[in-house]
Amino acid sequence: MRKFSALIVFLFLFVVGFSGIAMSKEAPKYIKVGTLYASSGPFAKPSTAEFKGLNFWVHYVNSKGGVYVKAFHKRIPVKLVAYDDQSSTATATTLYNQLITQDHVNILVADFGSVLTSVAVPLAKVHKILLFDVTGTGSKFFTPDNPYIVLCSLPTSGRWPYTLADFIISEKINRIAIVYSSNDFDQSQAVTLHNKLKKAGVDIVYYHAVPSNTSNYSIILHNIKAKNPNAVIEFGYPNNDIAFLQNLESSGLKFNMVFTVFPGQLFKLLKANVGVKALSYGYTYPTPPLLRYNKVNLGMGIDKFEKEFEKYSGKTPNFLNIAGYNVGLIIQKTLETSKKFNQLAFRKAIAGFSGKAFTLDGLFKVNKEGAQIGEMLPVAQFVPRGQGLKMNIVYPPSMKTAKAVYPAP
Amino acid sequence: MLSYALIGGIMYGLYFGLVGMGLNLIFGVMRMINLAHGDFIMLGAFLTYWLYYLFGFNPLIVIPISIVVFLVFGFLMYYVFVPKLLHSKDPEMLSFILFFGVSQVIEAIIILFFGNNQISVPSTIFAKLFNVSTFTLFGNTFPISWLVVSVACIVAFVLIYVYFFYTKLGYATRAIMANRHEALVSGIDVNKVSAIAFGVGIAAASLAGVMGFFMIGAAFPSMGTDLTTISFTIIVLGALGNPLGTVIGGLIYGVAIMLMQTYFSSWTNVLPYLLLIFVILIKPEGLLGKAVRNV
Amino acid sequence: MYRKKGIIYGLGITLLVIVLFIFLPNIYNNTSFLFNLMLYMALAEGLNIIYGFTGYLPFGYVGFFGAGAYSAALAILFLHFPPLIAVLVGGIGAFLIGIIFIPLLKLSGAYFAIANLAASQALYYIVANPNLEKITQGPYGISLANIYNPQVSYYVMLSILAFSMVTVIFIRFSDYGLALLSIKEDRVSASLAGINVPRERSIAWGLSSFIAGLSGGVYAWYVAVFYPTTVFSLEISVFVIVFVLFGGIGTLVGPLIGSLVLYSFYNFIGISTPQYFQLSYGLLIIIFALFIPNGILSIFEKRGIHVP
């Protein structure tokens, strides 16, 4: 009990001490960047990966003496304040509030994904602090009356299948089967794709939702086969994609085209779980590092980033590491260009470089509501090469590296 | 489509019979809800993965290893926790939170040591071993791994049956299940017999983990909670406290899931729970249970 | 005499809690923490009514919470009710669900716990189902950003907490509470003694679900944006049960202390040493279950200090 009260007193002093610093008008000693991550629970894997990317950015800018803050005309080191929300939204609410009201962070960065971002949106709005949303693509977050949110690393999920739909239409593939997990992220993609294809007169022969924790697709695959489609599109979370591809391989069924979401984002994870053969001739949305953006005007290009990140963490980066780093870059650019050191000035600065900044994650462009519209996700196909896989971008024509192998052999 | 769903559902259901088995055994003997049940399934899966990647062990070889390891583990765990719990005022409820703590600790340790990743052994490992990738039953083609898992489950059920009805130990176990106090009075070493049953329960859970890759996809540290919930459903559908009734519960669950996936895929998750409430209201002792409870 | 004293003490404690939560935001302005603390305290008292006094363990207690959150949100979105009334609708919604679940009370022990769990899961999957998107918005979740008001909802939460405490005081020190406890001890002799068993326990069940529903309603208002997984998370059930058991069941103060100690601990280790968070929390629960099985209050009781 004594220890506990000591802890409270300590925390109290800590808070008072830091709020004192934040209150002062002069340049702060540190730029405090506050964020949450999940070390356990369903979002732990992507969340920690994203967090690591952000950590890398902090490490990197601090090794250069900090980030340049235009409002104070000097470089200021970055200090990361991060708490563990255990994938729980209730805990996340408390901890976001901790960051805002106790730690008085200068920059607020959301945790991974829509669910853990959701609780931060109204909090940020009411406390008038700009929320740097990393991958929370939920459509409900972006409203005209809320200037306090910017989506940094992915387009809102409803926009994801735009190129996929165009690809299917341009290849004149008919008879499409769509199976999706019933959550915000996957359903919005399925709805977009369904509507776009319907409009173009493409036959959709199977269109069903399955629960998000579906772990066996054998029967579903069999039912899909009974409709004899040319292309099977599966929208799911990583778990769903893994189970789907595993079941597809062991079932011995063949389709001309199979599309899944996550091989393009978590290639190594998917490859380790389902193997090379199950991914061969499959389609996905490629994201960096599979997409190689080296012509950038903000931060490192992908080649350099991979090298530096490996030095830092001993691991090759995945997409979520890049998303975490990318949000750091947006913060950096914001501070570099914002004339004043306040939240609305930050938002204004972002509007200023939106559409002009090009990072290893692609073009950064947000609309008035803060939603990402610059990045778009091409369509790629994996083809076997030697023992491994090669990824070809097959659509849109402007980025195309090879013609799609359709139908799959 | 119907026959495919039915046959697939039976095989899927056999596996889920195994998933619920350990929970039911422990409940039957100790009247305790092992909230960490799903975490032991997860541990079985991680052991399989680990042995596969370090030594290239086929899951079939991992089966005996995991049975021995978890039998001993469960046996020891019984002595650490259960006798003390049984002395408390309300063991049924207290065990509930104790095992919640155990489940948290197991998940945390796995994350600390193995990281928070999805892991799998290749789904085609049996296809390579037996050199056939699918088999056909009444005109329906299924992956070979389903057959292997089904056979393994049936063998496990037969062994548990033999343990219960053809061994002295099983006789003593059943006596404790019927009435712990009377068993004690009649000279049975209740603690030792219960500890073994506890070990068997944990081992059965780990076995479900070994086989899990082929039925429920990749394994990950936080998979336990969901599996525990599903196991509850299954054991109540079958017969709470009667381990062999679990098989029936598993089969109902498996067939119901497959039928739902075929005809109303988005409602798949609701059905087992509605089924459960329905069964529990008309026949709370489970479909196979004897009407011994005064409700 | 004992009763009168108990009621006075109990009301005194309630007053103390109210005053405390009114003043705390001035010294510690992470109001979300305070809000969640009150939320768990209210839920713990609500669960205490059914579990502490009748022995029914509602494993799926979160079902009422979620039902309350969704009832309130739908009342706001479709009927344009003011938030305060919507919170009440949340309570009523959960209460109605409670009435539907009354047949479950025919079950005992683990059967009841599991059936209740299943009921809450079924509710969750129905609410989250994409086919009901037009009504519940399915997996897309709810946004009440227009009426977001953390200040007012904070005080509404406080009044719900006070309400739940007063309810527990009433039950604990009334004939009704005695009747419930006698049912808990022995159902058959209670009914022989002229107690209407089904009625009494249904009332407790209704009160318990009503409190969870109110809490869910105000939670929906407080967070403003939420998903079905947020308000039907089994974690909430488990937390509340653990808090109540930790403090001591069947008392007024036990659930409060359980929530205060464990939820604070949960938050502060999350902030100070996040990497061992889950591990230390799990170990704490194991140690407590083994060595202080009847709750913190049992330590006082053993020394002859009676706590309301």
CB-nearest to B102 from C119, C238, C286 is C286
Cβ contact, residue pair B266, C111, below 8 Å: no
- Taking only residues 176 to 235 of chain C, the set having a beta carbon closer than 8 angstroms to any beta carbon of chain A reads 223-227, 229-230, 233, 235
Q: What pLDDT was estimated at residue C270?
A: 66
Q: Classify domain A13-157+293-364 by CATH architecture.
A: 3-Layer(aba) Sandwich (3.40)
C31 to chain B, minimum CA–CA distance in Å? Answer: 28
Q: What percent of chain A has pLDDT over 90?
A: 58
Q: Does A44 touch chain C (CB under 8 A)?
A: no
3-class DSSP assignment, residue C233: coil
CB-nearest to C138 from A7, A90, A182 is A182
**A161-284+381-395 is a CATH 3.40.50.2300 domain:** yes
CB-nearest to A210 from B12, B221, B268 is B268
Residue A11 has pLDDT above 70, yes or no: no
Q: Does A12 touch chain C (CB under 8 A)?
A: yes
Q: How many CB pairs under 8 A join A and C?
A: 124
Tokens (6 digits) for C259? 């929530």
A17-72: per-residue pLDDT in tens?
Answer: 444 444 445 788 999 999 999 887 778 888 999 999 999 999 999 999 999 999 99
Residue A9 has pLDDT above 70, yes or no: no
Cβ contact, residue pair A45, B116, below 8 Å: yes
Residue of chain A whose Cα is closest to the Cα of B136 = A251
Number of domains in chain C: 1
Report which DSSP code applies to A211: -
Mutate to test the interface with A, among B48, B137, B261 (most CBs of A within 10 A): B261
Residue A148 has pLDDT above 50, yes or no: yes
Segment A300-313 shows an average pLDDT of: 94
Residue C305 has pLDDT above 80, yes or no: no
Residue of chain C whose Cα is closest to the Cα of A6 = C268
| Chains near A (3 or more Cβ pairs under 8 Å) | B, C
**C184, C54 contact by CB (below 8 A):** yes
Show the domain range for C99: 2-233
pLDDT in tens, chain B (295 residues): 788 889 999 999 999 999 999 999 998 888 888 889 999 999 999 999 999 989 989 999 999 999 999 999 999 999 998 888 888 777 877 887 789 889 989 988 998 888 777 888 988 888 888 888 888 888 888 889 999 999 999 999 999 999 989 999 999 999 988 888 888 888 889 899 999 999 999 999 999 999 999 998 889 888 888 898 889 888 888 877 788 889 999 999 999 989 988 888 888 888 878 877 787 777 766 665 554 333 3
Mutate to test the interface with B, among C286, C287, C291, C302 (most CBs of B within 10 A): C286
B51-68 burial, b for 16+ CB within 10 Å, e for fewer? bbeeeebebeebbeebbe
Q: Does C100 touch chain B (CB under 8 A)?
A: no
Residue C290 has pLDDT above 90, yes or no: no
**Confidence band (pLDDT; 50, 70, 90) for A4?**
very low
**C141, C225 contact by CB (below 8 A):** yes
Mutate to test the interface with A, among C31, C39, C271 (most CBs of A within 10 A): C271
C153 to chain B, minimum CA–CA distance in Å? Answer: 32
C118 to chain B, minimum CA–CA distance in Å? Answer: 5
3-class DSSP assignment, residue C18: helix
Q: What pLDDT was estimated at residue B192?
A: 92
**B67, B206 contact by CB (below 8 A):** yes
- Taking only residues 200 to 239 of chain A, the set having a beta carbon closer than 8 angstroms to any beta carbon of chain C reads 209, 211-212
More confident: C30 or B121: B121
CA distance A225 to A15: 61
Among A215, A203, A212, A257, which residue's Cα sits nearest to residue A235? Answer: A212
B143 to chain A, minimum CA–CA distance in Å? Answer: 5
More confident: B225 or A248: A248
Q: What pLDDT was estimated at residue B284?
A: 64
Q: What pLDDT was estimated at residue B235?
A: 86
Mean pLDDT is lowest, of C146-155, C162-171, C178-187, C212-221, for C178-187
Query: Which residues from B are below 8 Å from C242, CB to CB?
Result: 97, 100
C54-84 burial, b for 16+ CB within 10 Å, e for fewer? bbbbbbbbbbbbbbbbbbbbbbbbeeebebe
Segment C4-25 shows an average pLDDT of: 90
Cβ contact, residue pair C282, B89, below 8 Å: no
Query: Which residues from A are below 8 Å from B8, CB to CB?
Result: 218-219, 222
Q: Does C62 touch chain B (CB under 8 A)?
A: no
CA distance B119 to C201: 47
Average pLDDT in chain C: 87
Q: Does C282 touch chain A (CB under 8 A)?
A: no
Residue C31 has pLDDT above 80, yes or no: yes
Q: What pLDDT was estimated at residue C257?
A: 92
Query: Which residues from B are below 8 Å from C238, CB to CB?
Result: 100
CA distance A268 to B198: 39
Mean pLDDT is lowest, of A164-173, B264-273, C32-41, C123-132, for B264-273
Tokens (6 digits) for A202? 């493409």
Q: Which residues contact C196 (CB under 8 A, 6 or more apart)?
A: none
A45 to chain B, minimum CA–CA distance in Å? Answer: 6
Q: Does C265 touch chain B (CB under 8 A)?
A: no
Cβ contact, residue pair C139, A89, below 8 Å: no
3-class DSSP assignment, residue A295: coil
**Confidence band (pLDDT; 50, 70, 90) for A327?**
very high
Q: Does C197 touch chain B (CB under 8 A)?
A: no
Q: What pLDDT was estimated at residue B71?
A: 96
B193-212: per-residue pLDDT in tens?
Answer: 999 999 999 999 999 999 99
CA distance B201 to A233: 41
- Taking only residues 60 to 119 of chain A, the set having a beta carbon closer than 8 angstroms to any beta carbon of chain C reads 82-86, 88-91, 93-98, 101-102, 114-115, 118-119
Tokens (6 digits) for B227? 């599996």
| Chains near B (3 or more Cβ pairs under 8 Å) | A, C
CB-nearest to B5 from A219, A249, A269 is A219
The 3-class SS string of B137-203 reads: ECCEEEEHHHHHHHHHHHHHHHHHHHHHHCCHHHHHHHHHHHCHHHHHHCCCCHHHHHHHHHHHHHH
Query: Which residues from A are below 8 Å from B12, CB to CB?
Result: 216
Q: What percent of chain C has pLDDT over 90?
A: 40
Among B197, B199, B225, which residue's Cα sits nearest to residue B42? Answer: B225
More confident: C88 or C223: C88
Q: What pLDDT was estimated at residue C59?
A: 85
Angle at A206 between CA A205 and CA A207, to 5 degrees: 125
Q: What pLDDT was estimated at residue A43?
A: 83
Q: What pLDDT was estimated at residue C272?
A: 67
Establish whether the linkage from the previous residue to A396 is cis, with ω within 30° of 0: yes
Establish if C301 belongs to a structural domain: no
Segment A180-198 shows an average pLDDT of: 91
Establish if C262 belongs to a structural domain: no
**C14, C42 contact by CB (below 8 A):** no
CA distance A352 to A358: 13
CB-nearest to B273 from C104, C113, C121 is C121
3-class DSSP assignment, residue A177: strand
CB-nearest to A246 from B116, B119, B123 is B123
Q: How many CB pairs under 8 A join A and B?
A: 116
Q: What pLDDT was estimated at residue C1?
A: 59
A57-114: per-residue pLDDT in tens?
Answer: 999 999 999 999 999 999 999 999 998 888 888 888 888 988 998 889 999 999 998 8
Q: Which residues contact B204 (CB under 8 A, 6 or more apart)?
A: B18, B21, B22, B25, B156, B160
Cβ contact, residue pair C293, B280, below 8 Å: no
Cβ contact, residue pair C111, B111, below 8 Å: no
CA distance A77 to A79: 7
What Rg value do the Cα atoms of chain A yield, rounded?
Answer: 22
Mutate to test the interface with B, among C111, C123, C291 (most CBs of B within 10 A): C111
Establish if C24 belongs to a structural domain: yes
- The structural domains of chain B, with segments of one domain joined by +, span 15-222
Looking at chain A, which residues constitute the CATH 3.40.50.2300 domain(s)?
A: 13-157+293-364, 161-284+381-395
Q: What pLDDT was estimated at residue B10?
A: 94
Query: Which residues from A are below 8 Å from B261, CB to CB?
Result: 210, 214, 219-220, 223
Average pLDDT in chain A: 88
Report which DSSP code applies to A28: P
Q: What pLDDT was estimated at residue B291?
A: 43
CB-nearest to B266 from A209, A226, A252 is A209
